[in-house]
Amino acid sequence: MDAAICLFSSDLRLHDQPVLHAALRAAPRVVPLFVVDTGIADAGFMVPNRAAFLADALADLDAGLRERGGRLVIRTGDVVTETCRVAAETGAGEVHLAAGVSGYALRRERRLRAELASAGRALVVHDAVITALPPGAVLPSGPGKDHFAVFTPYFRRWQAAGRRSVLPAPRSVRVPAGVRSEELPSARVLCPDGTPSPALPEGGERAGRRRFGAWQRSGMADYQDRQDDLPGDATSRLSPYLHFGCLSPVELVHKASARRDAGAEAFVRQLAWRDFHHQVLAARPDAARADYRARGDRWRFDRAEVTAWKEGRTGYPVVDAGMRQLLHEGWLHNRARMLVASFLTKTLYVDWRVGARHFLDLLVDGDMANNQLNWQWVAGTGTDTRPNRVLNPLVQARRFDPRGDYVRRWVPELAGLAGPAVHQPWKLSGPERAAYDYPDPVLDLADGLVRFKRARGLD
């Protein structure tokens, strides 16, 4: 076999890249291929923020390949059609691909396998590329159990499982002569409609490795104590790089585990949560749109309330701060994600799918497994063992933003309110209240709790 194809998907990197590594072993020449999937755009999932990050990541990947004598080949269209076309043009006998877990990825993989086989070619799918441990690698005891539905027992098995070694980046990549490539796409080409958020991170493997290196040196040790600190912003912010595969979760687990400190252990636990959600979605692909555990919810939809939530104008400052951070950065602190999601689903009692879709429209790290299943966890339709827990925004604010600094950062019209008073501006006297251009609460928290309890039959 003279040529093989490395079909990049959510694994846009050269370090610890099993797909490229296997393709280079299989043939003397390799086509590093990325297909701009028009199916994703047609489904509405190519949004400005992710398009901008993807454009950066593709440019960085191409630069890394050129340093090694290769280049990234770009095609646009249906992934199966374009990959088979490149295979025919180059005589490639094998196509190597990272395993996905979404229903869309699995259907695409089945189609590609069948089309290649009809032409006498093979598809080779590689595990532990997008996740640290492949879905299904560890299973609960008992017949018919195809995934873990509770995180803690999964995490114990995940910790005990063996992990593959970290692979070095290739020294050279030889691409077949004459293979046609389109130009690297810009964000505007990838997503003609809409403008990216003003404070997006730089995409690509090199940016991701710099960010991880800096955070490992200066932030990881304190992560256990500060991961919920809203104003401190002490999380790694690596989720976009993991979503696009600019960083390897296997490599991150190895490097963090070698430290053996509490901060590193807490970080590894978060990587395990990511794997947990991927193994749930792999076993239950319909959980991307259907309740994992139906609770008989008859969700409300009040357009004015939902609009206030999306715009960060609910009248609850810590909720509004989170939603405005999302609008500005295309990213949101994990604690803020939980409290704004709880407010929508448990206080306003709005269908989790409304919030999940809004997040996917804005998040740079908009990942089907983690976004949808985290929303279900908060809504009580997912894997949470306490499905009726409600995160009170005032309690959350006092605990995770005690001085109000996070709120003042993102709700500037309240910046003149000192200390924790910023969390309850409705308590100001009449003249003071009139001085602040900030809305009254969309509803009373007690009324929202009564509404939720009645809906779930808890009253």
Binding-site residue set for FAD: 223, 235-239, 267, 365-367
Integer Cα distance of 430 and 426 in angstroms: 9
User: To 10 degrees, what angle do helices 352-362 and 368-379 make?
Assistant: 150
Contact assessment for residue 97 and residue 109, using Cβ atoms and an 8 Å cutoff: yes
Please name which of 329, 328, 336, 317 lies closest in space to residue 404, comparing C-alpha atoms.
317
Evaluated on CA atoms 329, 333, 337, 339, the torsion sign reads: negative
By residue count, the chain amounts to 459
HEC string for 217-269 = HHCHHHHHHHCCCCCCCCCCCCHHHHHCCCCCHHHHHHHHHCCCCHHHHHHHH
Query: Which runs of E-coded beta strand occur in 47-117?
Result: 73-77, 94-98
Helix (H) or strand (E) holding 275: helix 262-283
Cross-sheet strand order for the sheet of 73-77: 73-77, 29-37, 3-7, 94-98, 122-126
Integer Cα distance of 346 and 443 in angstroms: 12
Contact assessment for residue 345 and residue 352, using Cβ atoms and an 8 Å cutoff: yes
Helix (H) or strand (E) holding 41: helix 38-42
Integer Cα distance of 258 and 252 in angstroms: 10
Q: Within a 10 A sphere around the Cβ of 265, how many other Cβ atoms?
A: 15
Q: Write down the H helix ranges in 289-392.
A: 303-311, 317-329, 334-342, 352-362, 368-379
**Cα angle 295, 299, 301; round to 5:** 165
Radius of gyration of the CA atoms of the chain, in A: 23
Structure tokens at 275: 């794997």
Binding-site residues, in ranges, read: 223, 235-239, 267, 365-367
Amino acid at 351: D
Query: What 3-state DSSP class applies to 123?
Result: strand
120 CB-near residues (< 8 Å, 6+ apart): none
Please name which of 13, 370, 351 lies closest in space to residue 166, comparing C-alpha atoms.
13
